[in-house]
Amino acid sequence: MKKFIIYLISILFLFKLPVSAQEKNFQILQSEWDRIMYSSKSIDEKEEQMEKLAEKAVQWTEENKKSAELYAWAGIILSTEAGFYKINVVKALAKARKAKELLHTGLEINDKVLDGSIYTTLGTLYYQVPPFPIGFGDKDLAKTFLTKSIQLNPNGIDSNYFYASYLFEEKLYKEALDRLIIASNAKPRVGRELADKGRRADIEKLILKAQEKLK
- Cβ atoms of 79 and 95 closer than 8 Å: yes
Query: CATH 1.25.40: does it fit domain 2-153?
Result: yes
pLDDT tens figures, 46-55: 999 999 999 9
SS3 category, 170: coil
Express each pLDDT in 65-96 by its tens digit: 999 999 999 999 999 999 999 889 999 999 99
94-129 residue pLDDT tens: 999 999 999 999 999 999 999 999 999 999 999 999
Say how far apart CA 29 and CA 57 lie, in whole Å. Answer: 7
Burial classification of residue 67, based on how many CB atoms lie within 10 Å of its CB (0-12 exposed, 13-18 middle, 19 or more buried): buried
State how far Cα 59 lies from the chain centre.
17
Rounded distance between C-alpha atoms, residue 69 and residue 75, angstroms:
10
Looking at the DSSP bridge assignments, the partners of residue 131 are 137
* The pLDDT of residue 24 is above 90: no
**What does DSSP assign to residue 189?**
P
What pTM did the predictor assign?
0.87
Query: For residues 115 and 72, is the Cβ–Cβ distance under 8 A?
Result: no
> What are the pLDDT digits (tens) for 4-13?
444 333 433 3
- CA 128-63-45 angle, to 5 degrees, is 45
